[in-house]
Amino acid sequence: MMSNHGNRITQGQFSFLPDLTDEQITLQIKYALKNNWAVNVEYTDDPHPRNTYWEMFGMPMFDLKDPAGILMEVNECRKTFPNHYVRVTAFDSTRGWETPRMSFIVNRPKNEPGYRLIREERGGRSMGYTIVPYATDKPEGERYV
Amino acid sequence: MSETDEDTQTEIPPDDTEVDLEAEFHSSNVQEVLDKLDRELVGLIPVKTRIRETAALLLVDRVRKQMQLSSETPTLHMCFTGNPGTGKTTVALRMAEILHRLGYVREGHLVSVTRDDLVGQYIGHTAPKTKEVIKKAMGGVLFIDEAYYLYRPENERDYGQESIEILLQVMENNRDDLVVILAGYKDKMDRFFHSNPGMRSRIAHHIDFPDYRPDELLAIARLMLAEQNYRFSPEAEKAFAQYIEKRRQLEHFANARSIRNALDRARLRQANRLFAGAGRKLTKRDLMTLEPDDILVSRVFSEGRPDTVDGAVPENT
């Protein structure tokens, strides 16, 4: 975590960069739409890297031509969950892919406490390691207030 | 942002900067769309004039913006009123293209919806539905056909009101993102605006579509046939002119749409006639020509009421 100031979680695209501005987000969405990917907005307050399925904010958006509609939804989600993680994903339905092709965080909680490292002594001299987000000590919805 | 603001602040063009409207007009390629409109649509002179005027206004506005004489996006929402089949949807399509070429909308697509696409069936259904349509239309033009159905005064708990409120908000706040065109019958739209003054004040351009004259309808018929490689025999054309005269007096007359349906039925009868006369030698000309018989059997002549052929699209929808 030496290179990761303030314990910013680094998942998906651009997460080592400073937060994207709305113009930059618009350009990214434009790229997704150009490729006919369905874009949707998701949120969570459990930043564990194995937490793959975030809650969807509204419906996935098909048949959109312009990023303005999605940015509207992103801002709506930010307003509803100002202290959650919010990400934009772009799903490619082409046969053979059928998977998200883009995913990037567009909103973070003000304070990100990061992860606790847990060492587990196992049989013999082996060690098990796992991480737990400090935030998940609290119940869902109260983690980043 | 602040940086670019400063940049533009510093170089306000002096008052005697030359403005080349002509070049601006050519570079936008709007003329091409206007020509297309002229070619494809018969008649509708007042509409074409209004669109030309609107295009000119938007062009001048754009140049004014370049000269930093105005910064506001002008209100572009429009209202098309007129009877069915007078070309409202087609004109809306061209309008989207014009707005796109002038740079007022980013994508220039047309999303055509009616009440059913906007208004939900139960509480909490309307807002997401309306928003979804709005999101699809962003960057282009949202065309609401028969918009007056959105407001049903007889039912005060109707969800249409909710849809109108969302639309109003978007029309005001997202003026850069989408243009809304409302369409419908003149009297019903007037009543709609009367009970929704907020809607009226947000719409800048009202364009009225007149009914077609009989000779224009005949020209439309010829155009439609030519597109499908058909033509009237001289007698058939006379018969069709009579048909138009008669059909216009009947109920559910939907201008160009009725003509299209009448032609579809004429083609059906022509095919039957050719088939029944099998054995006779046919030429390519026979396949292309509609004869008076194909038209005169219509119920409009014999019974004085519109045809309804199974499978034909009802005209009043």
Name the residue in chain A with its Cα closest to that of B110: A65
Contact status of A24 with chain B (Cβ, < 8 Å): no
Which CB contacts under 8 angstroms, 24+ apart, belong to B64-71?
B67/B13, B67/B17, B67/B19, B68/B8, B68/B12, B68/B13
Which residue in the set B107, B132, B176 is minimally distant from A65, CB to CB? B107
Tokens of B154: 């007889």
Are residues B136 and A70, on separate chains, in Cβ contact within 8 Å?
A: no
Between A68-80 and B126-137, two packed helices, what is the crossing angle to 10 degrees? Answer: 140
Q: B99, B111, B130, B138: which to substitute to probe chain A, counting the most A Cβ within 10 Å?
A: B138
The reply to whether the predicted model has a pTM over 0.90 is no
pLDDT value for B39 = 83
Q: Is the pLDDT of residue B155 over 60?
A: yes
pLDDT value for B18 = 76
Q: Are strands B78-82 and B205-209 parallel, antiparallel or unpaired?
A: parallel
pLDDT in tens, B21-46: 777 777 778 888 888 888 888 888 88
pLDDT value for B308 = 61
What letter represents residue B315's amino acid?
E
Which residues on A lie below 8 Å from B112 (Cβ)?
none
The secondary structure of residue A99, as a DSSP letter, is: E
Residue B164: Cβ-neighbour burial (10 angstroms; 0-12, 13-18, 19+): buried
Which residue in the set B109, B134, B176 is minimally distant from A69, CB to CB? B134
- Residue B160 host element (H or E): helix B160-173
Question: What three-state secondary structure class fits B259?
Answer: helix
Distance (Å, whole) CA B38 – CA A112: 62
Q: Is the pLDDT of residue B313 over 70?
A: no
Q: What is the dihedral of CA B179, B185, B186, B189, to 10 degrees?
A: -60
Contacting residues for A88 by C-beta, under 8 A, at least 6 apart: A25, A28, A29, A39, A40, A41, A42, A70, A74, A102, A103, A104, A106
Distance from CA of B29 to the nearest CA of A (A): 22
Which B residues 145-174 touch A at CB under 8 Å? 174
Q: Is the pLDDT of residue B143 over 50?
A: yes
Are residues B107 and A66, on separate chains, in Cβ contact within 8 Å?
A: yes
pLDDT value for B80 = 94
Are residues B138 and A66, on separate chains, in Cβ contact within 8 Å?
A: yes
Q: A23, A66, A71, A74: which to substitute to probe chain B, counting the most B Cβ within 10 Å?
A: A66
Q: Is the pLDDT of residue A65 over 80?
A: yes
Q: Which residues pair with B285 in a beta bridge?
A: none
Are residues B138 and A69, on separate chains, in Cβ contact within 8 Å?
A: yes
Which residues on A lie below 8 Å from B136 (Cβ)?
63-65, 69
Q: Is the pLDDT of residue B5 over 60?
A: no
Distance (Å, whole) CA B288 – CA B236: 13
Are residues B177 and A63, on separate chains, in Cβ contact within 8 Å?
A: no
Q: Is the pLDDT of residue B302 over 50?
A: yes
Contact status of B106 with chain A (Cβ, < 8 Å): yes
**Looking at residues B150-179, what average pLDDT do you find?**
88
Q: Is the pLDDT of residue B3 over 60?
A: no
Which residues on A lie below 8 Å from B130 (Cβ)?
none
Q: How many CB atoms lie within 10 A of CB B42?
A: 19
* Global ipTM: 0.78
Contact status of B135 with chain A (Cβ, < 8 Å): yes
Are residues A59 and B132, on separate chains, in Cβ contact within 8 Å?
A: yes
Which A residues 47-86 touch B at CB under 8 Å? 58-59, 61, 63-70, 72-73
Are residues B177 and A66, on separate chains, in Cβ contact within 8 Å?
A: yes
Q: Report the candidate in B251, B237, B241, B236 with the shortest Cα–Cα distance to residue B306.
A: B251
Are residues B107 and A73, on separate chains, in Cβ contact within 8 Å?
A: no
Distance from CA of B110 to the nearest CA of A (A): 10
pLDDT value for B254 = 87
The least confident of A73-87, A103-117, B47-61, B303-317 is: B303-317
